[in-house]
């Protein structure tokens, strides 16, 4: 794991535009970023540099071109209550050119329930001015300005995107018309307690460059007909994934060469075939069809036009969300009736939902952090869409409510006194749920596993809603330390926190947001190794668990623990713009482990070794090379046999390389390391390819007469080494330095010196050998006998050196790890005429990086905390809980009831159970599963049973861990780990 904030940067040119942060106004304040900060960051804008170290995970979501467009966008966000600051936080983390926060109001008690950058000492101060310096700390590339004046036409023209929150209906209509006429992207976001809305107007003509954010598809061609229309058939290994209406291009087609390099062609899909060719020369073989993302034009109407068309009346409570502050119930109903009566056709609702309007009026004065987090994440993503043209915008209005958070019993109505303001930081939440829930939240004891992106957002929301702000406690554990790449989405951390403990830093940050929260940070990994810490007493004391993990194994482990201890579990995850939320309630819903995603499809070993056809194959091959050469410790005698069984590795090559490294090629100097790298280059990219072509010549035919080198098998060619080839030298530099590190020898970055050493290196001549077996399929490989390898393996006594294994670290650009992976992969790609890829994509694939963006994280965590509120209230109905699924790129939002917990019926009349009855001083339960143990204890202590057989015996038995705990709890016997001798009575119950 990298401990350095150093990163590789990509220089991009841009166009100079005016920024709102440079406006002169007596009502503005700003952070001076005219100089380069101490941490090396510079502000965005003209000639901006994309800091790949900071933005790496987001770049895998947006791409460089979209980031470049975003870095030339100035954004105004009006209204700095909880929703506004949430939007601002996400937009600033995203990396726009500048952000101006606007507010003419002052901080009040009701703001503190969700505005995480306001403190109690800020009451009475302007919200924008107080929030500005704290927002500016989020991203030193983004200047943040506070503005407290009026939003005039001259002022608004400085911005590319304007966002209104906490605004009146008149302001929305007036400014919306103004922005529409000036070509300024316009967004309105509002929350009212458990109700919320989002409105977008991106102009009469907007170009979307990528509507879904998915990687373009590619497939290998097996046949092209000359029919009218012609049919292109793809290989049958898997469905190609293309859809009718997609655009594709063709490459590497032999015979029907007119297709190669053609303009993008729209296709129709026929099962495994794609159809759109006719009238060309005869097809011979080969070819690749690739999807092309085509720009799409969309148009929007202004806010006034949208209202006039009555489109908003799809939901009959829309009007109230347009008023600030919310009017009383009679006025709400009157206005809704008036607006509805003016509609015609499908826009008019036959009967208003009186109960819904009543609920709206009761909660509209509230301000809830989870709702603001969800809508704030969505609104910030719409800002990014407006700036970049990346992903499909919301067309044009979105509504969301979470009424299931209210009491399940319809007869339960909170009194005005229970929801009245207390002049405390939770007034915005008390206005919706009353004081009883607030008291319950304060007493909660929750275990948060992970303090990364989701963990930071959860802690912020925990602090805002008042979780564990009384007698309770939040325990957060995370074994990681902070890295620079975390700062783009883990908003509790700052550049000065790099290399510091994640959990401790996050805990300290949320204590500043709400000093009342009781939080403890741990640096432990959850798992069997830490069960002595997170033991029975620990879990029994919990009210619930929230996962913020990044791997399935840890999720499943925590799920098993929660099932065992009957604790609710809040599970969530993100993947770029995609997110999901799952709530697990004991005895009510299924557990996380009840359903699993299908395993990822692995790459066949023979494809990696000899027949790659995609850059993913060469990158995995390079990653295996790194592990085999520099990571796996040859000192462990079991390593050799383990390597033979590794999926996706090249056992023969790895073992031969290890043998040479340990016995025959041990280096004594830097020159020896360079010589090793040069000879290894020759072996991998020339000799092995020549041997492969000796076994299977380019014109080889299969037993059926078909060309051997066809379909997924690409015919390779050997490479010739040259010191003038930058890629060749990249490999030598990286390989030699890594090889030197394994022997604790000094390395070098002197490329000129290395080139001189290479002139003296003697590369042995190679002649392909007959009789060398090369396996064509994995089945053939599995059937082969690898015993001949064992005679070549070195014994531990023959090792001349103790090697230093190197752990792969993808985010440190000074350690040569990614240099080796990129060079090794692209050289192999050149062998097989596979298009190479850049360092950015190579790091994504080889490093198994999960793309991430702050907007998705914020939205997902908002939904998680809504489920938390239901759990704390004690909701019992399955339909009250919601599992959530979203894809902000489409955009798509789906909610479903959790699957009910399985219920099993048992026929107790036809089974025989044997157990051991406790004597007055002891108890033994052995050879039984936990369910049977609990059943027997229940029968023993609470049910009169018929004893059919009694036998007294004396026996020695070893008590298991869980049984020991049960015995101690029920019988108060202090049992040791030693064998114990006790009498027991055997009972049989029929």
Closest residue by Cα to residue 376 from 21, 63, 116: 116
Angle ∠(125,113,363) on CA atoms, nearest 5:
115
Picking from 315, 261, 306, 313, the residue whose alpha carbon sits closest to that of residue 287 is 261
Q: Cis before residue 689, ω within 30 degrees of 0?
A: no
- Across-strand partners of 960? none
The crossing angle, in degrees rounded to 10, of helices 82-94 and 854-873 is: 140
Q: Enumerate the H helices of 113-152 as residue ranges.
A: 127-136
263 exposure class (CB count in 10 Å sphere: 0-12, 13-18, 19+): exposed
Residues 6+ apart with CB under 8 A from 96: 44, 70, 71, 73, 74, 75, 142, 383, 387
Residue where the block lists tokens 């919301």: 394
From residue 254, how far is each of 221, 223, 224, 284, 286 by CA, in Å?
11, 11, 11, 5, 6
Q: Maximum Cα–Cα distance for the chain, whole Å?
A: 97
In the numeric block, the tokens 């999807």 are attached to 291
Q: Where are the beta strands (DSSP E) in 61-194?
A: 74-78, 98-102, 144-147, 161-164, 185-192
What are the residue ranges of helices labelled H in 524-669? Answer: 536-540, 552-565, 605-609, 615-626, 639-645, 651-659
Residues present in the chain in total: 990
Q: Report d(CA 822, CA 841) in Å as an integer.
A: 10
Using DSSP's 3-state secondary structure scheme, residue 545 falls into strand
Q: How far is CA 847 from CA 97, 808, 813, in A?
A: 30, 9, 13
Residue 52: strand, helix, or coil: helix
Contacts of 874 (CB under 8 A, 6+ apart): none
SS3 state of residue 676: helix
Which ranges of 832-928 does DSSP label H, i.e. alpha helix?
839-846, 854-873
Q: Determine contact, residues 376/189, Cβ cutoff 8 Å.
A: yes
Is the peptide bond between 67 and the residue preceding it cis, with omega within 30 degrees of 0? no
Query: Among the options 275, 424, 606, 940, which is catalytic?
Result: 606
Contact 4, 485 (CB under 8 A): no
- C-alpha pair distances (Å), 302 with each of 69, 306, 311, 877: 24, 6, 12, 42
DSSP H or E run through 845: helix 839-846
Enclosing H/E stretch for 980:
strand 980-989
- Is cis: bond before 508, omega within 30 of 0? no
* Separation of alpha carbons 498 and 625, rounded Å: 31
The sign of the CA dihedral 366, 370, 371, 372 is: positive
CA atoms within 13 A on the CB side of 331: 7
Active site residue 606: yes
C-alpha to C-alpha distance for 540 and 965, rounded to whole angstroms: 13
Beta bridge partners of 662: none
Map tokens 């399929």 to a residue: 777
Residue 58 neighbours by CB under 8 Å, 6+ apart? 67, 94, 95, 488, 489, 851, 852, 853, 854
Give the active site residues.
606
């Amino acid at each position: 794991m990298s401990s350095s904030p150093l990163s590789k940067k990509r220089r991009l040119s841009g166009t100079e535009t005016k920024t709102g942060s440079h406006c002169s106004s007596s009502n503005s304040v700003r952070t001076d970023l005219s100089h380069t900060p101490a941490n090396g960051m510079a502000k965005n804008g003209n000639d901006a540099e994309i800091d790949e170290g900071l933005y790496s995970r987001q770049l895998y979501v947006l791409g460089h071109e979209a980031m470049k467009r975003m870095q030339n966008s100035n954004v105004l966000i009006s209204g700095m209550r909880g929703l506004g600051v949430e939007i601002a936080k996400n937009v600033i983390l995203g990396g726009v050119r500048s952000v101006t926060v606007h507010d003419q109001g002052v901080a009040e008690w009701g703001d503190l329930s969700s505005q995480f950058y306001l403190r109690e000492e800020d009451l009475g101060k302007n919200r924008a001015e107080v929030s500005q310096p704290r927002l500016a700390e989020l991203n030193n590339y983004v200047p943040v300005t506070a503005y407290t004046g009026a939003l005039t036409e001259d002022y608004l023209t400085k911005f590319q995107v304007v966002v209104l929150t906490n605004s009146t209906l008149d302001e929305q209509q007036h400014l919306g018309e103004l922005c529409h006429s000036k070509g300024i992207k316009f967004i309105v976001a509002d929350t009212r307690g458990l109700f919320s809305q989002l409105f977008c107007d991106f102009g009469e003509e907007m170009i979307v460059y990528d509507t879904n954010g998915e990687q373009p598809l590619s497939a290998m061609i097996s046949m092209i007909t000359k029919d009218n229309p012609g049919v292109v058939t793809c290989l049958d290994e898997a469905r190609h994934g293309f859809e009718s209406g997609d655009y594709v291009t063709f490459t590497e087609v032999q015979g029907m060469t007119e297709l190669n390099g053609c303009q993008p062609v729209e296709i129709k899909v026929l099962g495994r075939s794609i159809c759109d060719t006719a009238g060309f020369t005869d097809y011979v073989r080969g070819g690749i069809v690739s999807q092309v993302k085509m720009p799409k034009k969309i148009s929007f109407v202004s806010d006034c036009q949208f209202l006039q068309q009555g489109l908003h009346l799809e939901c009959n409570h829309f009007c109230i969300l347009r008023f600030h502050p919310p009017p009383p119930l009679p006025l709400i109903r009157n206005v809704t009736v008036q607006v509805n009566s003016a509609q015609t056709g499908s826009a008019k609702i036959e009967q208003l939902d009186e109960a819904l309007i009543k609920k709206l009026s009761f909660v509209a004065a509230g301000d809830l952090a989870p709702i603001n987090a969800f809508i704030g994440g969505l609104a910030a993503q719409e800002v990014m869409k407006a700036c970049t043209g990346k992903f499909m915008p919301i067309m044009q209005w979105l509504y969301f409510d979470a009424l299931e958070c209210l009491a399940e019993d319809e007869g339960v109505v909170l009194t005005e006194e229970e929801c009245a303001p207390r002049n405390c930081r939770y007034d915005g939440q008390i206005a919706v749920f009353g004081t009883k829930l607030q008291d319950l939240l304060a007493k909660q004891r929750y275990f948060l596993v992970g303090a990364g992106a989701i963990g930071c957002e959860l802690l912020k929301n925990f602090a805002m809603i008042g979780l564990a702000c009384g007698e309770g406690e939040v325990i957060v554990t995370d074994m990681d330390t902070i890295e620079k790449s975390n700062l783009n989405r883990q908003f509790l951390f700052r550049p000065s926190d790099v290399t510091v403990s994640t959990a401790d830093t996050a805990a300290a940050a949320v204590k500043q947001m709400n000093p009342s929260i009781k939080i403890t940070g741990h640096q432990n990994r959850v798992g069997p190794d830490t069960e002595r810490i997170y033991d029975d007493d620990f879990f029994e004391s919990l009210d619930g668990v929230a996962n913020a993990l990044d791997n399935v194994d840890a999720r499943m482990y925590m799920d098993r623990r929660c099932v065992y201890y009957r604790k609710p579990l809040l599970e969530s995850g993100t993947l770029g713009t995609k997110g999901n939320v799952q709530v697990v309630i004991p005895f009510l819903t299924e557990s996380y482990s009840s359903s699993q995603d299908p395993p990822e499809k692995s790459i066949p070993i023979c494809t990696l070794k000899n027949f790659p056809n995609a850059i993913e194959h060469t990158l995995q091959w390079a990653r295996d090379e790194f592990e085999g050469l520099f990571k796996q410790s040859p000192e462990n005698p079991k390593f050799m046999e383990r390597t033979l069984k590794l999926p996706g590795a090249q056992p023969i090559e790895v073992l031969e390389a290890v043998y040479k490294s340990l016995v025959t090629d041990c280096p004594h100097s830097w020159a020896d390391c360079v010589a090793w790298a040069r000879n290894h280059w020759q072996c991998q990219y020339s000799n092995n390819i020549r041997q492969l072509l000796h076994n299977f010549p380019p014109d080889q035919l299969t037993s059926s007469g078909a060309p051997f080198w066809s379909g997924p098998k690409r015919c390779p060619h050997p490479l010739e080494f040259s010191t003038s080839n930058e890629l060749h030298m990249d490999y030598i530099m990286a390989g030699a330095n890594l090889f030197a590190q394994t022997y604790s020898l000094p390395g070098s970055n002197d490329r000129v010196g290395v080139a001189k050493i290479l002139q003296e290196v003697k590369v042995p001549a190679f002649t392909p050998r007959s009789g060398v077996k090369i396996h064509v399929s994995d089945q053939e490989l599995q059937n082969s006998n690898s015993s001949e390898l064992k005679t070549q393996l070195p014994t531990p006594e023959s090792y001349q050196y103790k090697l230093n294994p190197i752990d792969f670290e993808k985010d440190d650009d000074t350690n040569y790890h990614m240099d080796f992976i990129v060079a090794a992969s692209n050289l192999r790609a050149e062998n097989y005429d596979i298009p190479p890829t850049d360092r950015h994509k190579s790091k994504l694939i080889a490093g198994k990086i999960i793309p991430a963006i702050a907007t998705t994280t914020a939205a997902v965590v908002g939904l998680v905390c809504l489920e938390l509120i239901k759990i704390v209230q004690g909701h019992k109905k399955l339909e009250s809980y919601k599992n959530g699924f979203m894809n902000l790129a489409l955009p798509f939002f789906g909610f479903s009831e959790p699957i009910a917990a399985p219920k099993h019926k048992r026929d107790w009349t036809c089974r025989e159970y044997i157990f051991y009855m406790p004597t007055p001083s002891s108890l033994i339960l052995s050879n039984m599963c936990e369910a049977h143990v609990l059943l027997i204890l229940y029968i023993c202590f609470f049910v009169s049973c018929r004893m059919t057989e009694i036998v007294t015996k004396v026996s020695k038995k070893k008590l298991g861990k869980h049984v020991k705990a049960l015995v101690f709890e029920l019988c108060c016997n202090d049992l040791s780990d030693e064998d114990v001798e006790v009498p027991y009575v055997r009972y049989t119950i029929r």
